[in-house]
Amino acid sequence: MTALRWGILATGGIAHSFTSDLVDNGFTVQAVGSRSQESADAFAAEFGIPTAHPSYEELAADPDVDIIYISTPHPFHAANAALALDAGKHVLIEKPIALNARETREIVELAAEKGLLVLEAMWTRFLPHMVRIREILAAGTLGEVQSLVADHTQKLSDDPAHRINSLELGGGALLDLGIYPVSFAHAVFGAPESIVSSATFKDTGADAQLAVAFTYAGGQVASTFTSSVAKGPNTASLLGSAARIDIDGVWYTGTSFRVVATDGEILESFSSDFVGRGMHFQAAEAQQLVSEGKTASEILSPAESVAIMETLDEIRAQIGLVYPGE
């Protein structure tokens, strides 16, 4: 597998988590780019990164960087991705891949034109327990999979200026938190046939709590709940005609699950054990794809990222959530 030289675009909290996992698991982090030299220098010093750039443009132009991880707020993903792709860099873009489906299509089309990898950093897809769950589903252990239930609920900041509460920064529960169970449902059932959504809002206009029901062409259903104002169990279940999978909290991180037959027999118990948070597994996928000369992942393809954003767009249309500039 080719050892890509990673560039980190932006130095916020998620960039720290991702870079920490890369360094701790032996990946090559070559450079970081920030909007100031001071911020870039501090980030580089923290992680032992050789090169610190005072702008995103200089990072994109760095000849020693092969792939760029984009971790800016959602409204900037499309422009940042275009900058990197135009410079000939592969991209791993923090979820959601863009603010809406239109921007996502533009990113995907540009990457295809350039012959470069584009991968949405929905890190949950690549975790060991999700790999095993896909194997179980493929084996038919659950019988006919009928339904999915998942929540992503956190008690986050109430500060109106915080990113999660700012429409200008793409804030709100749906794009930050709700995308996790929505993406999970897409992975299991594909695009929904119908969507019914309901939400409550903060004074800033950002969505605070959101319940969504999905139905699918094969008769399956899914239910997701998201909140940025209260923390729940953060568990998930897949229900089949022969058995179910119960994923422990926090289901979208490295965790454990059980496969339980309809008579209550535990058919399998699984637990995860790895170094760090687990964000490096998506980096390993990117490196493997580039090594094989591929520009799309079978686990989360660019086309599926577009479809997920179309689902999120429909949810936003139903609840009346519009971001500035759309």
What residues act catalytically?
95
Scored b (16 or more CB within 10 A) or e, 134-159 reads eebbeeebbeebbbbbbbbbbebeee
The answer to whether 206 and 172 have CB atoms below 8 angstroms apart is yes
Taking alpha carbons only, the member of 42, 80, 316, 64 closest to residue 201 is 316
The answer to whether 49 and 29 have CB atoms below 8 angstroms apart is yes
Taking alpha carbons only, the member of 234, 267, 266, 260 closest to residue 149 is 234
CA atoms within 13 A on the CB side of 79: 7
The Cα–Cα gap between 132 and 125 comes to 11
Q: In what order do the strands lie in the sheet with 90-94?
A: 51-53, 28-33, 5-9, 67-70, 90-94, 118-121
The Cα–Cα gap between 22 and 24 comes to 6
The answer to whether 208 and 202 have CB atoms below 8 angstroms apart is yes
The answer to whether 253 and 150 have CB atoms below 8 angstroms apart is no
The Cα–Cα gap between 19 and 42 comes to 13
